[in-house]
Each structure stands twice: as C-alpha cells, then as structure tokens.
Amino acid sequence: MKKNALDFVEWLRENQLPPRWAGIFAWKVYYKSQYICYINFSYPAKGSWEVKPNRLFFEEYGKYITDDELKKFVLDDIVHLPGCNRECGRKKNIEFLGKRFDEICSCWPFVIKNPDGAALEKLKKLVLVSRDIIADLAAAGKK
C-alpha cells in the first residue's frame, strides 16, 4: 500500500498536481485553485490510505467520462459512503452517471480505498478528467 501511495504522489507531481498539506495525515490536490481530490492516510501504523474525489464535479463527470472501464470503476468499484451518522442531515439521494444512489453522504459520497495497480491507473484517469473539467470551467468563466 505504501508503494502505491508513493507512486500516486510521484505521478501527481509529474503532472504538475503536487499535493498540499490539508491536515494531520491529509493532503489536497489542486489545479487552478480548485481542488481535485483529498488524500487521507490513516495513522501510519495502520498503513491504509484513501482518495476522495471532489464532489463538486460529479455532475460534470457524465459529460467527460466516456471510457466504459472508467465509468464501471466509478459506479461499481469504489466505495459509495452511506449517509454519515451526523445529525447534520447530509444524507441525500443522487443520480450519478445514470445510476441512483440513495441516502449517501453528500460531503464525501465516493471514496477510493487502498487503490492497487489497476485501480490506481483508473484513479489517475479520474484525476485527469477532473483537471480537464476545471480547465474547461475556468475557460468558460464558471469557476
């Protein structure tokens, strides 16, 4: 797991997307002042890590994700967080890429946990899609 995380961070840096510190064991990846994803490492002794894509781009993903393999990854292979136990009422029903998700957390609906080789490659594609969305929104003057 540690090697996968380090490889991912190296890939981010190679693509001019260096992670920035966001808190204890946590980093955010930015492009043009918009964050693409949040990387969270568990306490080092546990050795696990996860990536949370920015939920603000979920509606845009449908226009950009045309690769069936990537679509399957996003819909079926990553963790869809059920509504959290908070009293804040952040549970909501969403439709994403044509699939309905009921009562999932509206803060962090999707999480990629401990991505391995194949999942890591798909995660990289998702990061690039997010970067393209940000670039297009910025060019259109929307963000």
> Which of 110, 108, 103, 104 lies closest to 126, judged by CA?
110
Based on C-alpha coordinates, what's the Rg of the chain? 15
Tokens coding 91: 């549970």
- pLDDT beyond 80 at 35: yes
Q: What is the DSSP string of 83-107?
A: PPS-TT--EEEEEETTEEEEEEESS
Query: What's the chain's average pLDDT?
Result: 83
Lowest-confidence region among 8-17, 52-61, 104-113: 104-113
pLDDT score for 10:
96
Instruction: Evaluate whether 36 touches 29 at the Cβ level (below 8 Å).
Output: yes
**Which position has the higher pLDDT, 43 or 114?**
114
Q: Where are the domains of the chain?
A: 2-139
> Residue 131 — very low, low, confident or very high, per pLDDT cuts 50/70/90?
very high
For 38-66, what is each residue's pLDDT tens digit?
999 876 567 789 898 887 777 788 888 88
Most confident of 49-63, 85-99, 106-120, 124-138: 124-138
Contacts (Cβ under 8 Å, ≥6 apart) of 71 = 65, 97
